[in-house]
Chains A and B, each alone.
Chain A
């Protein structure tokens, strides 16, 4: 069960090697989390992540999970919930893609969309159903500021996150009053593996800062969290910039 400050005792991370996901898990283990399930594509990195969290004193297990294999989600994720309540699900998987190549190769663009959007829809719905059945829990969805407004530099990724974001918002409304809390997290540029080698955008942040914002959001039962917080204002201004002007802005 979560405590009065929203700190979960059990955590399921979808995208078990995600840097943001693991930074969040470390913070939560320092609070109340005792059980962690890391769901992801089997790899040495996934096992290393599990071993690292175990060092912190949690009971950690890995679960094979592929976001692209939506047909398996019901079975794979459903099984995790039959072994005990999950107080918080962190939907952390995602791929940035390579905008230039994805524009050339539509199928690789589709993989971005399928991972970030349709994969999240099926995994999100399975988890939401299980959380609803147990009558409590938080579903924390890592969306992205990139989904707020289409940008030349990453609109394939951005559009998949826009879809995910609207899906998660709607799911949150649908689950209102069921004891299940859905929190949409919109980080800007995070210095992680995903963005390694790319030019930093303004207001760049770290996985640790995103993790802190998630912990605070849980305590406040927030529905939307921007990281850093200043992005809320920046993005709401950018949203209203006319397109001809926006095209000429240097915000990539």
Chain B
């Protein structure tokens, strides 16, 4: 097990703090770290893709789980996989796809660990039909504050607290996941332009169960009648019989994504308003009004940014902030107001994505709830941003919505209880299971979780 003192941040590179980082290679080593923790506690960390401070622990210990990365077994008949928490979803996909299995839920990057996907209870573009990650976790092994390992099953309180629990109930060591069958590694993709926000909402709302994956890119710099215009992308898995005979033999090959398009290589947040607006214009106009049945490889469809070089993440010295919120159906007016506020202020937002959520899952602090969700990034150095986001928080909370904690780095603690009604249960369970507060993170300190 390697140990070092490091300064850590989330993917947004804001608020660096120092911690003792342990990289266990066995479950026993991980348990030893939890038992021997110092007064400032410990938290698990995967690939550090959470944007905010969820996976850091100032002055305490951080368990880097990425060396616990064995795929233990695949049941190719029942469609389940047992793997360590440090395995990345990308590696799981590369292993499972040739066997005809696919992860039922995958976020917009493959570089997240199974532990991180559980800790944040991640969602994909198919939340409406597939739910969040929690729905597909059959069981997990959780290392708790007493240094013991518990098997946690769906339907229990500990499961509810752990899925989306941001590593605060313990360290997930391994998990059994249910899979979905696929017959090819191709997607059939439709794109359609929408002239304004209502157009985008209508197109997303029109997606039936036949097109499980749907999301829209929104141009947050377009003003006037074009406010909220965007491009809606929908996808479905291509069935084997849709392929020409010669392609069927290699139908399931996993090929990493192609070199990303020039646009993806441009670090949008580093550009000023005018170039971003120009890029958005090109992107919008460059999309045909409607295009159907474009074949795309799975990595290109699901993780388009993963092959972009690392520097495209750095958004200047101050880093970047991600904001993702959800509001229920019927709260479209709030969505409109928020989009208007962003466009009026000419915020150079990047990666603005609008999706629809389906039913909530079992996770007590899980983010997805039925309705709409909008996410975007902004350079943290943008003057006035702190106040603007505070205003958005109020709007979201007033509409009965919530912001995503895995992305958060700045929420006012006072709003948490309104956004997450099951917070008292979460706190009570933690108080019982972990009275000394062994599991702590910068996020848990900041939000008094």
Contact = CB atoms under 8 A, between A and B. Distances in A.
A4 B442 contact: no
A215 to B, nearest CB: 9
B305 interface: no
A140 to B, nearest CB: 16
Interface in B399-449: 409-410, 412, 442-443, 445-446
B99 interface: no
Contacts of B446: 1, 3, 9
B12 interface: yes
Interface stretch (B15-23, B214-222, B256-264): B15-23
A61 to B, nearest CB: 19
B386 A7 contact: yes
B40 interface: yes
Contacts of B317: 220-221
Interface string A123-154: 00000000011111000000000000000000
B14 interface: yes
B58 A136 contact: yes
Contacts of B252: none
A3 B446 CA distance: 8
Given A5-B410, A179-B16, A134 B380 contact: no
A2 B442 CA distance: 9
A196 to B, nearest CB: 32
B124 interface: no
A98 B383 CA distance: 40
B318 interface: yes
Interface string B135-148: 00000000000000
Given A7-B386, A219-B386, A135 B410 contact: no
Contact of A2 (B7, B15, B57, B318): B15
Nearest to B57: A135
Contacts of B12: 4
Given A179-B17, A219-B381, A4 B58 contact: no
Contact of A136 (B14, B52, B59, B412): B59
B319 A4 contact: yes
B43 to A, nearest CB: 12
Contact of A220 (B57, B381, B385): B381
A109 B317 CA distance: 41
B165 interface: no
Contacts of B17: 1, 135-136, 179
Interface residues of A, number: 24
Given A134-B59, A220-B318, A5 B385 contact: yes
A177 B6 CA distance: 7
Contacts of A7: 386, 410
Contact of A1 (B5, B19, B381, B445): B445
B59 A3 contact: no
Instruction: Give the residue among B7, B59, B385 with the most A Cβ atoms within 10 A.
Output: B59
A135 B19 contact: yes
Nearest to A179: B18
A4 B18 contact: no
B58 A1 contact: yes
A192 interface: no
A4 B409 contact: yes
Contacts of A26: none
B7 A4 contact: no
Contacts of B196: none
B318 A1 contact: no
Interface in A80-125: 85
Contacts, number: 81
Nearest to A175: B18
Interface string A155-168: 00000000000000
Contacts of A216: 383
Contacts of A136: 15-18, 58-59, 442
Contacts of B442: 1, 136
B189 interface: no
B60 A4 contact: no
A177 B410 contact: no
A236 interface: no
Nearest to A222: B317
Contacts of B58: 1, 85, 134-136, 179
A135 B381 contact: no
A135 B386 contact: no
B321 interface: yes
B15 A4 contact: yes
A220 B315 CA distance: 12
Interface string A1-44: 11111110100000000000000000000011000000000000
Interface in B14-66: 14-19, 40, 52-53, 57-60
A136 B5 CA distance: 13
Contact of A177 (B7, B60, B409): B7
Contacts of B383: 216
A178 interface: yes
Given A135-B58, A135-B60, A220-B317, A5 B18 contact: no
A3 B409 contact: yes
A221 B16 CA distance: 10
18 contacts: A1-B445, A3-B410, A3-B446, A4-B321, A5-B386, A133-B59, A134-B40, A135-B17, A135-B40, A135-B59, A136-B18, A136-B58, A179-B7, A179-B58, A216-B383, A219-B386, A220-B318, A221-B318
Interface of B: 5, 7, 12, 14-19, 40, 52-53, 57-60, 317-319, 321, 380-381, 383, 385-386, 409-410, 412, 442-443, 445-446
Given A136-B18, A178-B18, A219-B318, 16 more contacts: A1-B15, A1-B53, A1-B443, A2-B15, A4-B12, A4-B15, A5-B380, A5-B410, A6-B15, A9-B446, A136-B16, A178-B7, A179-B16, A216-B383, A219-B386, A220-B381
